[in-house]
Structure 1
């Protein structure tokens, strides 16, 4: 089924720039891929929406494969994160108009949940490939923060006309620096005798929040650890 979806996606991309991720694009993809409408619907029950999501996921997979083939050991960790985000956007730049059309599609209220799922998937893929081992509330905060950085950078990039997207990479560096400042403040709070006591209660609750178990039900965001 994945091979069929890949064929449909490849056939759809030339049409997306003109018709967006639409029913017209999906019908054209079925025709160009030389499959039956029934086969097309079996692979993509929601039509072009499923193709748009597959396009985004393909970019994530390519980013992960590229990062895994690189030695990032000499980089500071903040630079590894920036590098991964930049790699993901550089991959997207090969089909910039398809990304633009995807942003428009996922901005629609009825598709917002799918857009958030795609964005979260990218952030999760980046943290995973960089070796994140957190299994508590930090699992969520890292991905939530990076989702904000990535989405803001993509929107900036879509309007960037500078040579080699230079202004986008400067924007990305500033956003990463902002995140690092937040982490610095969190570290100072943990080290402060007064503030650490004030946060003892909330932290005790947050410590019971665990990251999702891989392979568990996909409709649940995580699980709660019984304090007993």
Structure 2
């Protein structure tokens, strides 16, 4: 977030995304808590009451700050950076595996140095009451990556591609957060192996499945992730 950013006229949605990167920095020390939010608000010269309003729990009754809302905003801020970075069309000239690798790697680079914030975010997401929302967060990230990569699949492939990528991304984040190798070399190698494995799987699947196999039994479940009913 730019130090000179004027958030006085920002909407609550804009405020959430603008504050999220600084909240993540504070979360390394304070966790995804009100203390982290207030620290970020002070850095951005945002009224504490307004900042808390932007991140209150979904019920809106208790007025408590929601950790998952802050994590949502952090993910959204990375989404925006990724979309802006690749808006120049450079992905069009890359093989599909390179598009996916570049997009995932950009997301990893964007949060490098914030491993402790990620570790704490993962712990929050793993709480029973947050698991469904965390799955939707992973699905959303995978969907944005595939769309930027140019995927237009509308059949069952739409769901399988996103489900597989979401699992790869989650596994890569788990390696990333513990990776102390130089330049995160272990994470890069892990990601490359997983993407290569998926490319081989997709090729084999295309050979084995006919066009009349247009649906899987779990498509309805995955559809709920794409269009969640709150």
Q: Which TM-score band (shorter chain)?
A: 0.7 to 0.9
TM-score (norm 1): 0.78
Q: Are the aligned partners of 2:155 and 2:215 in contact in 1 as well (CA < 8 Å)? A: no
Say which of 118, 134, 140 aligns to 1:99. Answer: 118
Q: 1:13: Cα distance to partner?
A: 3.4
Corresponding position of 1:20? 31
5+ residue gaps in structure 2?
Answer: 1-11, 58-64
Q: 1:129: Cα distance to partner?
A: 0.7
Structure 1 residues 16-71: Cα deviation after superposition (integer angstroms, max 9, x where no partner): 1111112332354455544143x334312222321111011111121122122251
Are 1:35 and 2:54 matched, yes or no? no
TM-score (norm 2): 0.78
Structure 1 residues 65-107: Cα deviation after superposition (integer angstroms, max 9, x where no partner): 2122251344221121111111111112153322222112111
Alignment of 1:176-195 (within 5 A): 176-190=195-209
Q: Are the aligned partners of 1:57 and 1:118 in contact in 2 as well (CA < 8 Å)? A: no
Structure 1: distance between partners of 2:39 and 2:163: 36
Structure 1: distance between partners of 2:189 and 2:88: 25
Q: RMSD of the TM alignment (CA)?
A: 2.8
CA 1:148–1:7: 2 relative to 1, 3 Å? closer
Tell which structure's C-alpha radius of gyration is larger: 1
5+ residue gaps in structure 1?
Answer: 191-195, 222-228
Larger helix fraction of residues: 1
Alignment of 1:56-135 (within 5 A): 56-135=75-154
Q: Are the aligned partners of 1:63 and 1:84 in contact in 2 as well (CA < 8 Å)? A: yes
Structure 1 residues 149-174: Cα deviation after superposition (integer angstroms, max 9, x where no partner): 11111111111111111111111111
CA 1:100–1:143: 2 relative to 1, 3 Å? same
Size of the aligned set, in residue pairs, is 206
Structure 1: distance between partners of 2:199 and 2:46: 50
Question: Larger relative CO (CA 8 A, sep 6+): 1 or 2?
Answer: 2
CA 1:183–1:4: 2 relative to 1, 3 Å? closer
Structure 1: distance between partners of 2:227 and 2:214: 26
